[in-house]
Structure 1
């Protein structure tokens, strides 16, 4: 690290210590609640999908779900001349709580990289933004692909972070497999054969969720990029030679709804995901006061190291308000 860069890095550490209210960021410390919330807010702001779902601060490592669902109607009338009004206990019976796990986000920059970044006057802001963005990307990735909580994760064997935590799909596999659409012979579901189009598939997924939720106005269809790409291709084949229709396709005006539901795609989703739920039904819980941080200069490895850890976990608030097709089991007609 050049001398001018080292001076910049020293200033960076001093400023970080002032921000976090500690004497030295080289010693591990717990981030204060107010700064911790700002960190979480910045991560959420960096990712469009996290902005849609619930990112919830909780106090305990395990406990009851925050958003208590209901399992029936709450509206009616009682003839009080004959009996008392009786409140209805409609708490969702599958509210079996949440579990958080320690999650690390440790990054480093080599001295050469720090020297390169040092030319930017906003070095600190650029660095923080880059780290926050990647944590957001990783959170979404674990939410979709996470299958287990390994004692020691292996990114080489699990490049999609499958071993970091149990995500939403895995939770449904374990807690409510009946909400997963599949064929009785366990063969793949084929678009263009089993379902003539994506609209028909989404309609069927909607009917798979509990009837008390089927009319909820917040239901959406979450669709992977492969499915939307195939949908676009069929539209181009049918209407691509008509200028007015082509413009609508390219402006995505014709896929604002699929199967009668608003359709959404976000970076990080499985490419062949087809799910019906609501954004408010998918959550990431983070324990208050659990963010620990340390920034050190490691000359033995010629790099600067930034250690971050916090406790977090994924939650499906109401299992019966979710239905989906396993991405690996959805094929297009003509595929082998």
Structure 2
């Protein structure tokens, strides 16, 4: 019997200990490692996510359940002229309920000692504070990368799967092309969204960096980023009649037309795991984290995706 199995057997019968045993894994030498299941770390994670410029604009849902009904998007109802006998309450949510399913997402990385030293010196903080600052930033940015680029979990994948007819792929934009301008392409994408959804006035265009026009922009910064790297770029000029926004790690040649309240991340409570190891032989700190989450488009009828755009100069 391995050491890991012996530990689990010894802990058997105690619910708290069983939960601890489930969060163990073995290191390279076969020794058990207990991943920290710390409520403070989980609270800090949610706080940092909500401080991020983009996540602050969408739905960040903390759920007690691994699977359940999503919150949906809400629209005003059309008023009725029926008298009392003919009236009936209606659901204020425009679409049928969607479902979320939180799956384990592992975010493992390392921070070089040189980077920790630089941040500590720059911000005049202690080394452990510098590590926490870097951890907070990396954790949130990793969620952004996953939300826009993961092959199975991303918001864009959800649209491709649930509403392929709302996807335009591989189009060219230019004088001799079907779409003469990005404005025309965005308007064509908006036409894929039915009424009354597209008339809500809340739609925006998420653009890749090769798409957002060279107009004056408003730059928002992430409070967690000590380098003050731009997190959101908002064009001061409309594209296809909609506000244009660029978000870090959004695919560079793509466009997503939707409402910001149509984009959600669901995170299951009490699933955040964290472990930190000093590796002086490699001059770095290694960090292993995981959580159960899902990236949801609340109503794919209220979204249009345009991918692999080629702009012909």
Q: TM > 0.5 between the two? A: yes
For 1:8, the equivalent position in structure 2 comes to none
Deviations 1:45-90 (A, max 9, x none): 2x3222222121111111111x23358835213223xx34212246
For 1:264, the equivalent position in structure 2 comes to 245
26, 34, 42: which is aligned to 2:48? 42
How many residues align? The count is: 263
Q: Does 1:63 align with 2:58?
A: no
SS in 1 for 2:82: coil
Tell me how large the CA RMSD over aligned residues is.
2.9
Q: Does 1:31 align with 2:15?
A: no
Alignment check: 8 A CA contact 2:204 2:243 kept: yes
211, 231, 252: which is aligned to 2:195? 211
| Residues 237-316 of structure 1 aligned to structure 2 (within 5 Å) | 249-250=215-216, 255-297=236-278, 304-316=285-297
Structure 1 residues 280 and 251: CA distance shift in structure 2, 3 A: closer
State the TM-score, normalizing by the size of structure 2. Answer: 0.73
225, 234, 255: which is aligned to 2:209? 225
Q: Which moved more, 1:96-105 or 1:297-306?
A: 297-306
For 1:4, the equivalent position in structure 2 comes to none
Deviations 1:186-220 (A, max 9, x none): x6333432112111112222221121111112111
SS in 1 for 2:89: coil
Q: Does 1:331 align with 2:305?
A: no
Runs (5+) with no aligned partner, structure 1: 1-25, 149-165, 233-248
Deviations 1:246-294 (A, max 9, x none): xxx4467984311111111122111111221011111111111111222
Distance (whole Å) between structure 1 residues aligned to residue 116 and residue 243 of structure 2: 45
104, 114, 120: which is aligned to 1:102? 104
144, 149, 152: which is aligned to 1:140? 144
For 2:168, the equivalent position in structure 1 comes to 181
Structure 1 residues 333 and 290: CA distance shift in structure 2, 3 A: same
Alignment check: 8 A CA contact 1:141 1:268 kept: yes
| Cα distance, 1:118 vs structure 2 | 7.4
57, 61, 65: which is aligned to 1:52? 57
Report the structure, 1 or 2, having the larger strand content: 2
SS in 1 for 2:57: coil
Runs (5+) with no aligned partner, structure 2: 1-32, 219-233
Alignment check: 8 A CA contact 1:221 1:264 kept: yes
State the TM-score, normalizing by the size of structure 1. Answer: 0.69
Q: Which moved more, 1:48-57 or 1:166-175?
A: 48-57
Structure 1 residues 116 and 212: CA distance shift in structure 2, 3 A: closer
Alignment check: 8 A CA contact 2:116 2:130 kept: no
